[in-house]
Amino acid sequence: MDVSPLLLPILFFSFLFFLSHKFVQKKKLPDGDSDTNKIGLSDVVKNLQRKNFLTWTAELVVASPTKTINLLSCIITGNPKNVEHILKTNFENYPKGNDFVNLLEDFLGHGIFNADGDHWKLQRKTASLEFNNKTIRNFILDNLDREVVGRFLPLLSKAAASGESIDLQDLLDRLAFDNVCKVAFDVDAARLVGDTAEVGRFVWAFETAAGISIKRFQQPRFLWKLRRALNLGEERRLKEELAVVNEFATKVVKERKGRKREEIEGSDDLLSRFIAEGDFSDEFLRDIVISFVLAGRDTTSTAMAWIFWALSTRPEVQQKILEEIASVRSRSGNAGEMLTLDELREMEYLHAVVSETLRLYPPVPMQQRVCMRDDVLPDGTRVKRGWSVMSHSYAMARTEGIWGEDCKEFNPERWLQNGSFQPKNPYRFPVFHAGPRTCLGKEMAYIQMKAVVASVMERFEIAVVDEDGEREREIEYLITMRIKGGLPVQVRTRERHLPEERKD
């Protein structure tokens, strides 16, 4: 039966039900916290028509005396003490929660990114051991070398030769996807060069499934559940694409398990490391690999797109990066295509530029948890069981009390003392999360971002195409904060000055 004509009325009444449900929840709020920090339904309706949810809530958080607001039973905070309380001190009371887990469960199962409790602990323990050692760092750089030098830079050369503008955000998405697939399960997704049939079908299915799953965050829960139960529209599509993703991933897992022990033990990708370390089921391994690919894919590419965007109007910052690359290369005598891990580590100014971009344009600008037992946050805000609690990294970057009067300015120097990079307290800068669930890919992300930015800048000038002279880019926010409409750029070749090859 074709049920699509029924869909509109169902959706309409579902939406009314959702609004009334939210309204009833609001009426039930206790009087614990200050009314000035409470945002009502009428404010939500009025403001969401005009503004983007992320920037609107950031304005409210920054303006609030406690840097915390209560938006229809959802506590949103940019107060570092609260953030520390939620992410570390009272960690057990603030899991991701069933609502979050249910949204991504069809896609991620109970992989690390989508698990709580013991299930999460077991994966976290093994993954932290395997993901932060020296061999994996070299493996990451070797893959980057192939991907950047062999694929990415030639595409930029082509664009420079033709003079045509290209969407840099899209290319960076492809690059990051290829990298994370290699590191997670040693598969070459080849998104930068056009895919081969089987892998190409997997990549397509993965991207489609990720897009549809993430869109569920925008809908009332019962709506997508209804569509799923009726096997309608995007939910039907999701089911079909997930079948492709799972079939491919399971095949890779089984094939890997079938390899010789020495071969598995000698491999550095995460899947092989997990197989070498324990007796895990195919499903468990598939879920963790898919979780890593989702977590590492558009976070890093989004960050790199914002970096190139930020650099495009700051020639003085570009100049300092070029001087740093030249000085690192002249010290090491490296005239090769790619910088080494040690050289990248030495580039403290570039590290500061990357961190400053992440501060102002955090790829995951808000992070959600749910409260298990009634609680009071350090700033006095009461939180009831079942309420959502969100930390707002985007708002924190724009808070004078945290970053000083120039908080809204792009100033890499704030990260440096006598030329050395100074890390900041992670609860004031929770861009990679903080506490027991800190991002596992932080180091990989920094290696990748620094290697890509340095390689591109050495060889090319990147000019952002500003339609109608518009400088600010509109934000597209679902889970990550992307540049709406992509990042069209023009590429020009830059003359490189490499050091003489060392004879010793």
Which part of the chain contacts ligand HEM (CB under 6 A), choosing from 15-23, 154-162, 361-369, 458-466? Answer: 361-369
Distance of CA 484 to the CA centre of its chain: 16
Q: With respect to ligand HEM, which residue has the nearer C-beta, 360 or 491?
A: 360
Q: In 331-487, where do the E strands start and end? A: 366-370, 375-376, 382-383, 388-392, 416-417, 420-421, 460-464, 475-477, 481-483
Contact yes or no for 202/248 (Cβ under 8 A): yes
d(CA 92, CA 102): 19
- The answer to whether 212 and 205 have CB atoms below 8 angstroms apart is no
Indicate the helix (H) or strand (E) that contains 464.
Answer: strand 460-464
Q: Which is nearer to ligand HEM, 112 or 487 (CB)?
A: 112
The C-alpha atoms of residue 368 and residue 479 are separated, in whole angstroms, by 10
Stretch that binds ligand HEM, among 12-20, 206-214, 236-244, 431-439 (CB under 6 A): 431-439
Per CB under 6 A, does 394 bind ligand HEM? no
439 marked as part of a ligand binding site: yes
Of 40-48, 53-61, 274-282, 294-302, which part binds ligand HEM (CB under 6 A)?
A: 294-302
Choose, by CB under 6 A, the member of 94, 177, 292, 460 that binds ligand HEM.
292
Distance CA 392, CA 427 (A): 11
Binding residues for ligand HEM, rule CB under 6 A, total 24
Among 39, 180, 223, 464, binds ligand HEM (CB under 6 A): 180
Secondary structure (DSSP) of 70-116:
EETTEEEE--HHHHHIIIIITGGG----HHHHHHHHHHHTT-GGG--
Q: Which of residues 433-452 bind ligand HEM (CB under 6 A)?
A: 433, 437, 439-441, 444-445
Backbone angles phi, psi at 83, to 5 degrees: -60, -40
C-alpha 333/C-alpha 243 separation (Å) is 51
> What's the min distance (Å) between Cβ of 314 and ligand HEM?
20
Q: How far is the CB of 50 from ligand HEM (least distance, A)?
A: 28
Residue 299 binds ligand HEM (CB under 6 A)? yes
> Using CB under 6 A, which of the segments 12-20, 237-245, 306-314, 427-435 binds ligand HEM?
427-435
Q: 109-148 mask for ligand HEM (x: CB under 6 A)?
A: ---xx----------x------------------------
Measured from the CB atom, the residue of 256 and 450 that comes closer to ligand HEM is 450
Strand 68-71 relative to strand 38-39, pairing: parallel
The Cα–Cα gap between 272 and 257 comes to: 8
Report how far residue 480's alpha carbon sits from residue 211's, in angstroms, rounded to the nearest whole number: 11
Please state, as a whole number, how many other Cβ atoms lie within 10 Å of the Cβ of residue 452.
Answer: 24
> The dihedral of CA 436, 439, 441, 443: what is its sign?
negative
> Among residues 160 and 303, whose Cβ is nearest to ligand HEM?
303
Nearest distance from C-beta of residue 231 to ligand HEM, angstroms: 30
Q: Name the closest residue to ligand HEM (Cβ).
A: 441
334 or 391: whose CB is closer to ligand HEM? 391
Binding residues for heme: 439
Where on the chain is the footprint of ligand HEM (CB under 6 A)?
112-113, 124, 180, 183, 291-292, 295-296, 299-300, 303, 363-364, 367, 431-433, 437, 439-441, 444-445
